[in-house]
Amino acid sequence: MDFENTLAFAQLLDEADVLKDFRNEFLFPTQEGKPVRYFCGNSLGLQPVSARAALESQLDNWQQHAVEGWFDGHQPWMFYHKELKRLMAPVVGALPAEVCPMNTLTVNLHLLLVSFYRPDLKRFKIIMEAGAFPSDQYALESQVRFHGLDPADCIIEVSPRPGEYLLRTEDILDAINYHRNELALVLFGGINYYSGQLYDMKQITQAGHSVGALVGFDLAHAAGNVPLSLHDWGADFACWCSYKYQNAGPGGISGIFVHEKHFSNRDLKRFAGWWGYQENTRFLMQKGFVPEAGADGWQVSCTQVMPMSLYHASLLQFERAGFMPALREKSLKLTAYLYWIINEVNRSHGSVLFEIITPQAPEWRGAQLSIIAKARGKEVFDGLVERQILGDWREPNVIRLSPVPLYNSFEDVFILGQAFTENSGKLFVS
**199: Cβ contacts below 8 Å, ≥ 6 apart:** 129, 167, 169, 172, 188, 189, 190, 191, 192
pLDDT tier, 429 (very low <50, low <70, confident <90, very high otherwise) = very low
Predicted confidence at residue 74, as pLDDT, reads 86
* Spacing of C-alpha 323 from chain mean position: 15
pTM of the model: 0.96
| pLDDT tens for each residue of 8-51 | 999 999 999 999 999 999 999 999 889 999 999 999 999 999 99
| Domains parsed from the chain with CATH numbers | 7-35+323-428 (3.90.1150.10), 53-320 (3.40.640.10)
State yes or no: pLDDT of 129 exceeds 70: yes
**How many CB atoms lie under 10 A from the CB of residue 394?**
14
| pLDDT tens for each residue of 272-315 | 999 999 999 999 999 999 999 999 999 999 999 999 999 999 99
| pLDDT tens for each residue of 206-257 | 999 999 999 999 999 999 999 999 999 999 999 999 999 999 999 999 999 9
DSSP 3-state assignment of 40? strand
pLDDT tier, 138 (very low <50, low <70, confident <90, very high otherwise) = very high
pLDDT tier, 423 (very low <50, low <70, confident <90, very high otherwise) = confident
Give dist(CA 308, CA 311) in Å, integer: 5
